Amino acid sequence: MLSARSLFQEIHDDDDAFRLFCSIAAKGEDQGGWENGRISALVADQVLAPKVARHGADEDKHGRIFKALLHRRGLAPVDVPGDTDYTMRLERQGIGLAHSRLRRDEPLTEEDVIVYLAHSRVTEQRASEQMRLLTKVFGDHPDIGRAVRMISNDEDNHLAFCHEELLRLAAAGHGRTILRHLQETAHAEIRTYRDVSLAVMAHMGVVLDWPRARSAALAAGIRSVYAWERAAGWHRMTSLTMPERLNALGGPVPQETFA
């Protein structure tokens, strides 16, 4: 029976598929770490800057975790196919702060900060949902359970941080600007997630030698999710609610590590 559990288990059990999966995940986390690190250096708000730095430190940690999972199995990362690069596909659509902007040593404007937070609020929604799914599948797994639980908790913190900071800016009079960027980002993200998911499954199909019928069924499932998101599901990415986890990225960076 085709299910998320059986699909992820199949990927986990095959060295080449697991190596591709972790390589894609590690690259995305590394990119997120670099972006947040640059943003923290360019943010004028000295209360916000350390929270953004903490966000970046978490993303760097996640990249190390995925690489450590590969190392445990004696595997090395592989080059990530360009069509599976979620972060760069979003950037090419003008979503988020461009890398060329982040490389310039110019302080971010208030609207730049809104663009960053709106982008993060949408993409962290996706990350939080994906990690909760992986936690359901692998949360008790002896090899990777602790890793997925740790990353899932961090992603929930990141999402809470975005909600809280955007609500603070909305209260300061930026509500219309925030809503515009959230809606633009959400519509681009659901298209990008569909395209990246199709690309990842196509590569996995080659690695795992899936029959055409199985690949077609997975592609149909991905497109059906996109149809729901385009019709109504995107709204969950644009709402703002004060989170239960207040100041989720405040305080010192936790020293917990994953070896």
Structure confidence by residue, pLDDT tens digits, 41-90 = 999 999 999 999 999 999 999 999 999 999 999 999 999 999 999 999 99
Mean pLDDT of 135-153: 95
Query: Confidence band (pLDDT; 50, 70, 90) for 4?
Result: confident
Which residue do the tokens 């490389």 mark? 103
**CA–CA distance, 205 with 40 (Å, rounded to integer):** 39
- The answer to whether 17 touches 207, Cβ cutoff 8 Å, is yes
- The answer to whether 161 touches 128, Cβ cutoff 8 Å, is no
- The answer to whether 125 touches 67, Cβ cutoff 8 Å, is no
- The answer to whether 24 touches 200, Cβ cutoff 8 Å, is yes
pLDDT of residue 257: 58
pLDDT of residue 158: 98
C-alpha distances in angstroms, 156 versus 65, 117, 118, 121, 201?
A: 17, 15, 16, 11, 26
The residue among 127, 126, 131 whose CA lies nearest residue 148 is: 131
- The answer to whether 15 touches 230, Cβ cutoff 8 Å, is no
Query: Confidence band (pLDDT; 50, 70, 90) for 3?
Result: confident
Q: Please enumerate in sequence order all residues whose Cβ is within 8 A of that of 137, keeping only pairs 6 or more positions apart, or say none.
A: 4, 5, 8, 9
Cα–Cα–Cα angle for 25, 225, 240, rounded to 5 degrees:
75
pLDDT higher than 60, residue 1: no
Cα–Cα–Cα angle for 133, 134, 139, rounded to 5 degrees:
115
| Model confidence pLDDT, tens digit, residues 156-215 | 999 999 999 999 999 999 999 999 999 999 999 999 999 999 999 999 999 999 999 999
Cα–Cα–Cα angle for 83, 67, 256, rounded to 5 degrees:
125
209: left (phi over 0), alpha (psi -120 to 50) or beta: left
Query: Confidence band (pLDDT; 50, 70, 90) for 255?
Result: low
Mean pLDDT of 21-26: 98
| Model confidence pLDDT, tens digit, residues 217-254 | 999 999 999 999 999 999 999 999 999 999 999 976 66
75: left (phi over 0), alpha (psi -120 to 50) or beta: beta
Half-sphere exposure of 198 (CA within 13 A, CB side): 14
pLDDT of residue 256: 59
Structure tokens at 247: 């100041």
